[in-house]
Amino acid sequence: MTDFTLEELAATIDERAASGDDNSYTARLLGKGVAKCAQKLGEEAVEAAIAAAERDNQALTKEAADVLYHLLVLLRAAGVSFDEVKAELQSRTRQSGLDEKRSRGPSADWKS
Ligand SMILES: N=c1c2ncn([C@@H]3O[C@H](COP(=O)(O)OP(=O)(O)OP(=O)(O)O)[C@@H](O)[C@H]3O)c2ncn1[C@@H]1O[C@H](COP(=O)(O)O)[C@@H](O)[C@H]1O
């Protein structure tokens, strides 16, 4: 298990965006605008899909990392925060029947 988090990566991307540092790939890509960032995400997503279809899990792992990085860069370019995306995901959370049974406690089954 790694202690790497997407929140940390998003913070690094924010920091590079603010720096405008030419040595930073992130800053250079952001400097090219939303359309270029969107194009990069699209390319990486297609590469990930191809790797999965070819059952190449080693390539899929690398392409998935590219997709997550380029998605966070695109969000930054578009002005959407990662927190907003997480809030959207949270709003979609639904309990399974099993979760509901667990929250009602062990005796819930024979009572009903
Ligand atoms: N996770 C990544 C990451 N994944 C992929 N890439 C870069 O994405 C680029 C993709 O390569 P491509 O061949 O598709 O693109 P290209 O031909 O170089 O250029 P364009 O197509 O964009 O014109 C490579 O240069 C990779 O290094 C990344 N660059 C940065 N990060 C993270 O961002 C942090 C900050 O990086 P810098 O902005 O470079 O300081 C790093 O510490 C990493 O955590």
Q: What is the ipTM of this complex?
A: 0.92
Between CA 48 and CA 15 the distance in angstroms is 27
> How far apart are the CA of 26 and the centre of ligand 1, in A?
6
DSSP per-residue string spanning 30-53: HHT-HHHHHHHHHHHHHHHHHHHH
Give me ligand 1 centre to Cα 55, in Å: 25
Over its length of 112 residues, how does the chain's per-residue pLDDT go in tens digits? 899 999 999 999 999 999 989 999 999 999 999 999 999 999 999 999 999 999 999 999 999 999 999 999 999 999 999 999 999 999 999 988 877 778 787 765 555 4
Q: Which atom number of ligand 1 is nearest to the Cα of residue 44?
A: 14
All structural domains of the chain, each given as residue ranges with its CATH number in brackets, are: 6-90 (1.10.287.1080)
Distance (Å, whole) CA 43 – CA 70 = 10
Which residue's alpha carbon is at the smallest distance from atom 5 of ligand 1? 66
